[in-house]
Amino acid sequence: MEQIILLGVLSTALSAVHAQSFLYSPQWGPIGYKEREKQKDATAMDTIIKANEFQVSRIIDGTTTLREGDIAVSTGRRSKACFARSCLWSKSVDGHVYIAYSLSPDYSEMETKQIEKGMENIEKGTCVRFVPRTHQRDYIDIQPMSGCWSYLGVRGGRQAVSLQSPQCLQVGVISHELMHALGFVHEQSRFDRDTYVTIMWPNIWRDRLRNFEKFKTDSLDLPYDYDSIMHFGRYSFSQDGQPTIIPKNSQIIKLGQANSLSHIDKLKINRMYKCGDRDDN
Ligand SMILES: [Zn+2]
């Protein structure tokens, strides 16, 4: 009984801390997002952050947390390093990478079409093909859970991709999460990113500093891609409406994408999966 009371007190205290962090940064999020929405250049990542920060606990369940805002990581399982090509989906002898998927029956016909558009976005110009699951052992199971998130690369067996409706059902957001499932991290977490962008640490919401870590990534001999659908927006995780990422080349004004993969995103997929560059389709 005492333990139950103690837990109750603890959870009240924790929720007070959580509420307080919002109070400390009253301008974080909502104001920044409204400004971005007005300008109609919110990136896919901005939409994801909006969905996840307000609706998902950072801990999805007892063993899964979100890294960098939307990459699911199981704490009870050694997370594989995708950069060494160890968590790629297998390639068929016909040269395509077939990714089997199942879709929750909870999605409407319209929502299903939208998810298919997100898949087509990736398929166009790449060797990846999404196919409804029949018997495949490894597959993604797309569900309208809480928030927009995916695991990184193939995990073996069933792996969830959450696309909450309607928050995560924009084509760009769907493509972004599927790119994580293919094994891609965010563009600005590239090991060489400091050559191309300046991270404005004082402007980042304090609890989210870890979302801006760098990783030992394989650049696949491709240039840094400011236009990537995997790039954070200029104001991602801003605590006061000020930019959190600024391109070093001041002539480049846009970071990230709202709706579609960049040209380099497609090259990335083809290089990572050794499919050759397919500029023609
Ligand atoms: Zn992401």
Ligand 1 centroid, distance to 24 Cα (angstroms): 26
Does residue 57 form part of some domain? Answer: yes
Q: Judge whether 180 is annotated as a binding position.
A: yes
Does residue 21 form part of some domain? Answer: no
Res 28: pLDDT: 41
Whether 37 is catalytic is no
Does residue 17 form part of some domain? Answer: no
Structure tokens at 119: 């898949």
Does residue 16 form part of some domain? Answer: no
Does residue 254 form part of some domain? Answer: yes
Q: pLDDT digit string (tens) for 222-281?
A: 999 999 999 999 999 999 899 999 999 776 678 999 999 999 999 999 999 999 866 544
Res 55: pLDDT: 62
pLDDT at 33 over 70: no
Q: What's the chain's average pLDDT?
A: 83
What CATH number is attached to the domain comprising 59? 3.40.390.10
194: confidence class by pLDDT, cuts 50, 70, 90: very high
Say which amino acid occupies 71: I
Q: Judge whether 186 is annotated as a binding position.
A: yes
216: confidence class by pLDDT, cuts 50, 70, 90: confident
Res 276: pLDDT: 81
- Of all residues in the chain, what percent carry a pLDDT higher than 70? 76
Domains contained in the chain, number: 1
The pTM for the full model equals 0.84
Ligand 1 centroid, distance to 278 Cα (angstroms): 25
Does residue 25 form part of some domain? Answer: no
Domain residue limits at 197 = 42-75+84-272
Q: Judge whether 96 is annotated as a binding position.
A: no
Ligand 1 centroid, distance to 277 Cα (angstroms): 24
Catalytic residue among 123, 177, 187, 213: 177
Ligand 1 centroid, distance to 91 Cα (angstroms): 24
Res 31: pLDDT: 39
Res 74: pLDDT: 82
Does residue 91 form part of some domain? Answer: yes
Q: pLDDT digit string (tens) for 43-98?
A: 999 999 999 887 655 666 667 888 899 999 887 655 555 555 568 999 999 999 99
Does residue 107 form part of some domain? Answer: yes
Res 122: pLDDT: 98
Q: What is the mean pLDDT of residues 175-200?
A: 96
Ligand 1 centroid, distance to 61 Cα (angstroms): 19
Q: Which residues lie at CB < 5 A from ion ligand 1? A: 70
